[in-house]
Amino acid sequence: MCIRDRSVIYPGSFDPLTNGHINIIKRASKSFDKVVVAVAVNSSKSSIMNIDQRVKVIKKIFKNNNKIVVDKFEGLLVKYANQKKIKTILRGMRTVQDFEYELQMATSNNKLDSTIETIFMVADANFAHISSSLIKDIIKLGGSAKEFIPGAVESELKKILDKRK
Ligand code: PNS
């Protein structure tokens, strides 16, 4: 594969960003000149954090790393990738359960635009059990998620949920 621009898009819902996402982003920043963390506006999943809250907290986490750019996108990912002139999409793969969904997404994106390639990074074993949905459940039920998410994300989530009470 030719990584022409040495930049990669790491798309996701990031509701919320987890330590697993952070691990992938940091590792990717060692292999690529630029990692664009692209937060999806129109995620079909019902989100706790709105798009601006998600973008803000991710920017805060990576504020000292100039190889990591945080952005949002709406609509088709391949369109966004073309607008950014980045042809490589990065996704993390945790377990075999992820494989089917990721295969469908990567194949669909490649059918929509054959110039777009998806590459995968295998999740670090320390983070393979972490998912945003699980974390949302823990926080909603009053548990502590500090093992799974950064403090800044946890306090933002708690603030949002407290306001809703
Ligand atoms: O973190 P997630 O929820 O697994 O991320 C999924 C995401 C946002 C990357 C995916 O749903 C997406 O790319 N949405 C944008 C709409 C799109 O392009 N759909 C066709 C891709 S198959």
**Residue-by-residue pLDDT tens, the chain, 165 positions:** 444 569 999 999 999 999 999 999 999 999 999 999 999 997 566 789 999 999 999 999 999 999 999 999 999 999 999 999 999 999 999 999 999 999 999 999 999 999 999 999 999 999 999 999 999 999 989 999 999 999 999 999 989 988 887
- pLDDT, residue 1, reads 47
- pLDDT, residue 4, reads 53
Distance 43 CA to ligand 1 centre (A): 7
- pLDDT, residue 90, reads 98
User: Which among 77, 100, 109, 133 is the best mutation to test ligand 1's pocket, defined by most ligand atoms within 8 Å of the CB?
Assistant: 77
Which of 45, 63, 140, 159 is catalytic? The answer is: 45
Provide the 8-state DSSP code for 40. E
- pLDDT, residue 113, reads 98
Whether omega for the bond prior to residue 11 falls within 30 degrees of 0, making it cis, is: no
- Please spell the DSSP secondary structure of 89-148, one letter per residue: EEEEE-SHHHHHHHHHHHHHHHHH-TT-EEEEEEPPTTTTT--HHHHHHHHHTT---TTT
- pLDDT, residue 27, reads 97
| 113 in Cβ contact with 78 (< 8 Å) | yes
Ligand 1 lining (C-beta closer than 6 Å): 11-13, 40, 43, 76-77, 105, 108-109
Put the strands of the sheet holding 88-93 in their side by side order: 68-73, 34-40, 7-12, 88-93, 117-122
- pLDDT, residue 42, reads 74
- pLDDT, residue 44, reads 62
- pLDDT, residue 162, reads 87
Residue 94 appears among annotated catalytic residues: yes
Report how far apart the first and last C-alpha atoms of the chain are (Å, whole number).
Answer: 50
Distance 56 CA to ligand 1 centre (A): 20
